[in-house]
Structure 1
Amino acid sequence: MSVRMGALALMAAVALSACGDGSARGKDKAEQQARIPVETVRVQTGPIAAAYRGTATLQAEDEATVTAKQSGVIERVLVEEGERVRAGQVLAKLETERLELELARAKATLDQLEQDFRRNELVYARKLIAREVYERAKYELDGARASFELARLALQEAEIKAPFDGVVSLRHVKVGNTIQAGSPAFRITRMDRLEAQIFVPERDIHKLAPGQPATLVVDAWPDKRFQGRILRVNPVVDAATGTVKVTVAMAPDQPELRPGMFGRVEIVYDRRANALLVPKDAVLTEDEQHSVFVVSEGRAHRRSIRVGYSDADHYEVLDGLKAGEELVVTGQTSLRDASEVEVVNALAPAPAVASGADARS
């Protein structure tokens, strides 16, 4: 009997021990499940640039719609869209038969009146005709000269010419078209002088000045940054929009750029070499107040911060953090102050900082 009792006691002890171990494991598992998985980065220092960013459509500094100066029928078109032309080059010609006849008639009239005037001049010198007759002949001669010059000008204007060096960006006419004086015939564009106009809020205009460097990114070449400089800042604020027009002149020898391209302009107005940086994904913003979750001893503590400049990926932290502190960058929307967390990523420094920026201080 005593042997059996001893065996039961031993079995009970083993069972209790097993129950105790199971309870402990369950508790540990529950605690582990209660921890919120997050990813973190460390606060780092690095350069950041403050810039103003705006969108703009590229425009040619020199662009002209070439119009016909005479009415008539288009006889020849000498250029096509995309061709480069020089100042004074003939782009198209009108039919000139009628104009040539008018010039010939004006020349004949002028020759006749010149002969008459020379004869009257000799007779008047001998005082054989009245002064009124002499002066009337002189006036008629002057009128004939003017008519001849007008006829010659009309014949010259039958040629439609380029006003400056450029590219034919649009052709309005075809051979056989009847065109009226003043109607558009071609559009000539200087491709090497392009501008971008952005409209800057009044509160930011003190940050910008002529000569400041600017960059442009266009959809056709999203990985390339084109260079330019502020050409001028309009001195007048638009009362309707509260903005000021800023014109950026693009640098020459950037053949990829075309008038009409839509782009994003960035004008850097300040740089800081050793700013305290945090990823934008780590920052929570409510009512213009910024905060982050700082991980310490397995818990995430919410902390308010004061930010300065920002770029596409980072905020500059002016107050509230120190370099090397660990921040939650993913999963913070599920956190409360002092929540237990489980870091699921291998901790690494924050990504490298890009040089471009759209910061506003």
Structure 2
Amino acid sequence: MVSAADIFTISSKKEFEKITMKVFRHQYDNNTVYRDFCTLLKRDKQNVKRIYDIPFLPIQFFKSHEVVSTTDSVIETFTSSGTTGAITSRHLVTDLSYYEQSFRMAFSQFYGNIEDYAVLALLPSYLDREGSSLIYMVADLIEGSNNPDSGFYLRNYDELITKLTTLDKEGQNVLLIGVTYALLDLVEKQQFSLSNTIIMETGGMKGKRREMIREELHEILCNGFGVSKIHSEYGMTELLSQAYSLGDGIFECPPWMDILIRDTEDALTYIDYGKTGGVNVIDLANYNSCSFIATQDLGKKYPNQSFEVLGRFDNSDIRGCNLMVL
């Protein structure tokens, strides 16, 4: 068994690899969907000796199967956004403490104490539906900030403009986290000159605007908000951990999460640093689900273990966080 304490106190690559192998064996034994997938690939506990031998479950399985590694009751079901009529992913969560510990510790690692911020959330598409893991996380950050000015904004842009401008001028550290199209709407209504505010985009045009490459998007947002960098969050319904970019689209993972880049022509082969391939995610916080997920994203990884997301394998079923298509 691996405990939450084992996962969230990882402090070295060697420790990460050791815990990862234990989690693989646990999920192989307890997750029928995952074990059947491994069997199809002729991989089992005996011939998986290292991380690169571990099979990564295609993310589409969350649309068609119940992906769980425990017999505990499901207490929360996170669902993905999608176009009308599209089949959405369902992440069955049996222990929310893993998610809460993951996003609280990751935020603290990258940004410090949440109580130092006023958290303003501009996430209309997510607020319009139930089951959003992003809304769950941001609501917790808003509460954790203990700041009366923190809160959600649906489409009340004028109120948000006044609040954001006032707080920034007062010297309050502000985190404005928003879905991409809504941030673009905001800077079309008002040009800002912010000096104490972090702008964090979560990706996604939600069919509201044309998709654009990151460089173009971030240039528009930097000019509109008067900031030098746009921060980004890389997360998705099927994960319980997030990677963060402090600018330029370069992401870093918390210690219990990692990215591998697979060959686009051979899903069981990995490619060198700096080359484009499919993004595989190890998320040890997904202990009760599946920690080894092959996403539909394209990306690159660098020798310092940072990575960037470049787009998707195809233009269909565009949804989720930071899935900006080239």
Q: TM-score, normalised by structure 2?
A: 0.21
Q: TM-score, normalised by structure 1?
A: 0.20
The structure with the largest strand share of the pair is: 1
Higher RCO, 1 vs 2 (CA within 8 Å, ≥6 residues apart) = 1
